Amino acid sequence: MGPLQIKDLLQETPESQSVTLKGWVRTKRESKNAIFIALNDGSTINNIQAVAQPGQFSPELLLTVTTGSCLKITGKLVESQGAGQTVEVQIEDIHVYGTADAELYPLQPKKHSLEFLREIAHLRPRTNTFGAILRIRHTLAFAVHKYFNDRGFFYLHTPIITASDAEGAGEMFRVTTLDLDKLPRTDEGAINFKEDFFGREANLTVSGQLEGELGAMALSKIYTFGPTFRAENSNTTRHLAEFWMIEPEMAFFELEDNMALAEDFVKTIIGYALENCKDDLNFLQNRLTEEEKSKPQNERSIPLLEKLSFVVDNAFEKLTYTEAIEILLQSKPHKEKKFQYPVGWGIDLSSEHERYLVEKHFKKPVILTNYPREIKSFYMKLDDDGKTVRAMDVLFPGIGEIIGGSQREDNYEKLLERVHEVGIDPETIWWYLETRKFGTAPHSGFGLGFERLVLFVTGMSNIRDVIPFPRYPKSAEF
């Protein structure tokens, strides 16, 4: 099935056996004695070197073998003469599938800025950096499914189109087939959504949680892993308008079980990437070290692999929101009025506060729990004091919030009271409320932002660089 991948060819014992390579040219170098072509097919960050003799091929053919061109090379796999690789290919034949005009091809073998690469997202997977990121992203996604499958969770496909905005998680993207130039109107002049495709207003989902809970009330342990859409106008390095979220939901889990699962889950999948993405992580680590050379010693971050191992090997710090506020009130930046936003019980922590706790105070991932009810979603279980809810946020260095979750309110009356309090029409989520009427159970869950995890593992600094085709305000080109 297809040619051997370059990843596998590089592992072969060279015995002058015939091999076929297919891939894209990274570089071509001609010297007096030989022509060297470095070929890459994306299966690994490493190129395979193919060597031809001067005069072996016509100048016309060699002119079409340019950086970015796509080739089929047949030849013999031999021990490499040069340093840097163990095997190379003695070329017998070259077939050019497609050349790449050297004048026009934007990816010349030199350093390009990440901003520039975002403008050529159709080609950036061919760079070392994005190849590494995409392979790591795949490995993490695979590890997510493996983690849950190994532990008796079922993958539940929650809907992408939804008629409820019960989450209140942010602005939603509308889904409609109405003709925007000729909108149907009711007698009162409002848009008549009865004539729309679903006979009601519909949007893209901001979370699969509510439907996930329905699944957990039957299968006990489920998870979702799907695209999530938020039309908030946040032009930050941590927000996308389309991102992927992993949401496990478990019957018979209380907040403490939920925290333990979240910690074990992220540690296990990061550990899986450390095991299985060595070449790519090493490449990204060197890239970061190179980038930070211009910074003074004390501003440089710890090497990527060390940072990841640290997270895998050390317990996360666990404390309540109330305790966190105490720490912030005692902190130097608060006393010296260095925080931009005020600190006090009841505030929604801003990222400067979260980062102080994680990066300055504890210097490790932190799980904050028991937030004030006013700043959290209606479905979170009320604590006995009635003031806080059984919420948990996992905060990561350099990222801030990577996971948000909670134990869910399983008492019908209390849940209904919260629904009214936050102004949701109970009619719109009757099906959600019914789970609390028919065989309700204690249950918990959380949501991990997949791109924030990929951001952490790759050490990249902008979330737009860890998803193949990012969606953000004013950008949906590719």
The footprint of ligand 4AD (CB under 6 A) covers 167, 169, 207, 209, 230, 239-240, 243, 245, 247, 401-405, 445-447, 449, 451-452
- C-alpha distances out from residue 234 to 80, 226, 230, 326, 417, Å: 51, 21, 10, 29, 32
Pick 75 or 449: Cβ nearer Mg ion: 449
* Least distance CB 413 / ligand 4AD (angstroms): 22
Strand arrangement, sheet containing 202-204: 161-162, 202-204, 174-175
* Least distance CB 231 / ligand 4AD (angstroms): 9
DSSP string, 83-125: TT-SEEEEEEEEEEEE---TTT-S--SS---HHHHHHTTTTGG
Q: What are phi and psi of 313, to 5 degrees?
A: -95, -15
Residue nearest to Mg ion (CB): 404
CA distance 197 to 190: 17
* Least distance CB 329 / ligand 4AD (angstroms): 25
Given a contact cutoff of 8 angstroms between Cβ atoms, the answer to whether 89 and 48 are in contact is yes
Pick 307 or 390: Cβ nearer Mg ion: 390
Give the burial string for 244-269 (b: 16+ CB within 10 Å, else e): bbbbbbbbebebeebbebbbebbbbb
- C-alpha distances out from residue 472 to 203, 227, 425, 463, Å: 17, 14, 30, 10
CA distance 281 to 295: 21
* Least distance CB 393 / Mg ion (angstroms): 6
Given a contact cutoff of 8 angstroms between Cβ atoms, the answer to whether 324 and 357 are in contact is yes
Tokens of 119: 């403008």
Pick 230 or 355: Cβ nearer ligand 4AD: 230
Tokens 């009130």 -> residue: 329
Residue 451 binding target from ligand 4AD, Mg ion, none, CB below 5 to 8 Å by type: ligand 4AD
Pick 131 or 405: Cβ nearer Mg ion: 405
* Least distance CB 421 / ligand 4AD (angstroms): 18
Pick 215 or 404: Cβ nearer Mg ion: 404
Pick 26 or 137: Cβ nearer ligand 4AD: 137
Residue 131 binding target from Mg ion, ligand 4AD, none, CB below 5 to 8 Å by type: none
Q: What is the 3-state secondary structure (H, E, C) of 128-160?
A: HHHHHHHHHHHHHHHHHHHHHHHCCCEECCCCC
Beta partners for residue 188, in sequence order: none
Residue 452 binding target from ligand 4AD, Mg ion, none, CB below 5 to 8 Å by type: ligand 4AD
* Least distance CB 21 / Mg ion (angstroms): 47
Q: End-to-end distance of the chain based on CA atoms, in angstroms?
A: 30
Pick 28 or 230: Cβ nearer ligand 4AD: 230
Residue 215 binding target from Mg ion, ligand 4AD, none, CB below 5 to 8 Å by type: none
* Least distance CB 312 / ligand 4AD (angstroms): 19
Residue 240 binding target from ligand 4AD, Mg ion, none, CB below 5 to 8 Å by type: ligand 4AD
* Least distance CB 214 / ligand 4AD (angstroms): 13
* Least distance CB 262 / ligand 4AD (angstroms): 10
* Least distance CB 427 / ligand 4AD (angstroms): 21
Pick 48 or 399: Cβ nearer ligand 4AD: 399
Residue 331 binding target from Mg ion, ligand 4AD, none, CB below 5 to 8 Å by type: none
Residue 405 binding target from ligand 4AD, Mg ion, none, CB below 5 to 8 Å by type: ligand 4AD
Q: Please, which residues have CB within 8 angstroms of residue 455's CB and are 6 or more apart in sequence?
A: 238, 399, 461, 462, 463, 466
Residue nearest to ligand 4AD (CB): 449
Answer left, alpha or beta for residue 55, where phi above 0 means left and psi between -120 and 50 means alpha.
left
Given a contact cutoff of 8 angstroms between Cβ atoms, the answer to whether 224 and 247 are in contact is yes
Pick 156 or 245: Cβ nearer ligand 4AD: 245
DSSP string, 330-372: HSHHHHTT--SS---TTPPPPHHHHHIIIIIII-S-EEEE--B
Residues of this chain that interact with Mg ion (CB under 5 A) are 404
